[in-house]
Amino acid sequence: MWSNFEFLDAGFARQNLATLCPDLILPTLVERLGSSLEVVTEPHKLTASLHSMIGVARSLVTYSEVYPQGQLHVLPLLFATLPGIDANDTRKPLVTLQYIATYAFLIPFVDFSGAADHHKLTDQQHQISLQSSQFSDFVAEFCDRCFSIIENSIALQTRSEVSTEDTNLSQEDSLNKVGMGGTLGVILMQSSLEVYQVASRKIHSFISGRILETKVSGRMAASLAKCVVLARPERGLQTFLPNIVDEINHGLEARTGSDIDDQTKFQILILSEIVCVPGRFLTPYVSRVLPVLDNLVKIDDKEVSELTGVLIMNLLRSLTICCPTECKEQQQLSENRRVQTLECDLILNAGESEGAEDVPPVAPK
């Protein structure tokens, strides 16, 4: 488990063993992860412990008669891993985000601390229900730590002949962007409306009136706003889009010549990300977005032209893409066709059998 090279391969063996004998494998892994979280001078042990717990996530979340107390460790360990999202480390945040996303897939982020008032719960179930009251604080702290990484991520110009406009995300920043956005998306998909509103308010207050460059930190912040809108498009667009459109219009009115301030560029970037929703949710806001596009296409600026192109592409894709929403009718049609095919086969087989009876047998030579 503590090997520098083979701990990933050993994770498959631990996963299978935890499924077969959870009472022999899970207590040791839980204890080692708890001790690794308390020691900050051994990051390798923490990442190895997180990898081990990722593999046994389903066994730990699922109730087992031989290890019933396993479910009691899920939420405390999940809350305790938040310090692993550290802007001063490169590897630990990625493993921590993967750990949180894995367990978020398996548990609902719903506060059911009052379930004991309506249902008869066991002592273990009552303890788990009390632990669920910390979900809102967990999501708020998760957003704060993501904001810390965003604020510490900047576009570095390593060569003087390369313009800052041509700077792209580094590999580390790309992984952080995907990890934060993917993890937040999983949490919001599993969360209740109360927990969702906590994340929505935090991210909205973070991006409102803030100036971030559009190459690194701005893209990370825009990915978080996109996750909030995708989780609940109707509420997300109502929260973000009107304010962003107003700020863009204000920035365009205050510009001098073809120069646009960085805050307006950042708002255009966010707008290009949050329109990536199903078209039926976006249709009521088209009348507010089109005047913005009419003003943006007239601006002679390379960066603004690129952002405007992405905005138009995402907008057209959301409004024109077609996908089935009702699958029952198609399944019923396929079932009817299958029945008709069987009936035809039966009729043909019956006709062949009747025809075979009319043919006289051939006498052997």
Q: Which of 169, 251, 274 is nearest to 217 (CA)?
A: 169
Q: Please, are residues 14 and 29 in contact by the beta-carbon 8 Å criterion?
A: yes
For 194-227, write each residue's pLDDT tens digit. 999 999 999 999 998 788 888 888 898 999 999 9
Q: Please, are residues 223 and 177 in contact by the beta-carbon 8 Å criterion?
A: yes
Say whether pLDDT at 357 is over 70. Answer: no
Q: Note the pLDDT of residue 161.
A: 44
Say whether pLDDT at 157 is over 50. Answer: no
Say whether pLDDT at 336 is over 70. Answer: no
* In the chain, domain spans: 1-68, 81-154+170-231, 233-321
Q: Which residues are CB-neighbours of 169 under 8 A, at least 6 positions away?
A: 177, 215, 216, 219
- Give the span between the Cα atoms of 229 and 231, in whole angstroms: 6
pLDDT > 70 fraction of the chain, expressed in percent and rounded: 80
For 56-72, write each residue's pLDDT tens digit. 999 999 888 888 888 89
Say whether pLDDT at 145 is over 80. Answer: yes
- Give the span between the Cα atoms of 99 and 94, in whole angstroms: 9
- Give the span between the Cα atoms of 159 and 151, in whole angstroms: 23
Q: Note the pLDDT of residue 259.
A: 75
> Residue 356's CB: how many other CB atoms inside 10 A?
8
The residue ranking higher by pLDDT, 153 or 288, is 288
For 116-125, write each residue's pLDDT tens digit. 777 787 888 8
The residue ranking higher by pLDDT, 90 or 336, is 90
Say whether pLDDT at 337 is over 70. Answer: no
The residue ranking higher by pLDDT, 177 or 210, is 210
For the segment 330-341, the average pLDDT, to the nearest whole number, is 54
Q: Is the dihedral of CA 197, 320, 186, 99 positive or negative?
A: negative
Give whichever of 115-124, 156-165, 283-292, 344-353 has the largest mean pLDDT. Answer: 283-292
The residue ranking higher by pLDDT, 265 or 158, is 265
Backbone angles phi, psi at 259, to 5 degrees: -85, 135
Amino acid at 164: T
What's the chain's average pLDDT? 81
Q: Note the pLDDT of residue 17.
A: 87
Buried b (16+ CB within 10 A) or exposed e, 36-75: bbeeeeebebbbbbbbbbbbbbebbeeebeebeebbbbbb
Q: Which of 2, 99, 107, 6 is nearest to 55 (CA)?
A: 99
For the segment 4-28, the average pLDDT, to the nearest whole number, is 80
Query: Considering the entire predicted model, what is its pTM?
Result: 0.81
The residue ranking higher by pLDDT, 276 or 173, is 276
Q: Which of 82, 262, 30 is nearest to 187 (CA)?
A: 82
Say whether pLDDT at 286 is over 70. Answer: yes
For the segment 262-270, the average pLDDT, to the nearest whole number, is 90
Least confident of 6-10, 50-54, 102-106, 159-163: 159-163
The residue ranking higher by pLDDT, 14 or 139, is 139
Q: Which of 248, 349, 344 is nearest to 304 (CA)?
A: 248
HSE-CB at 133 with a 13 A cutoff on CA atoms is 9
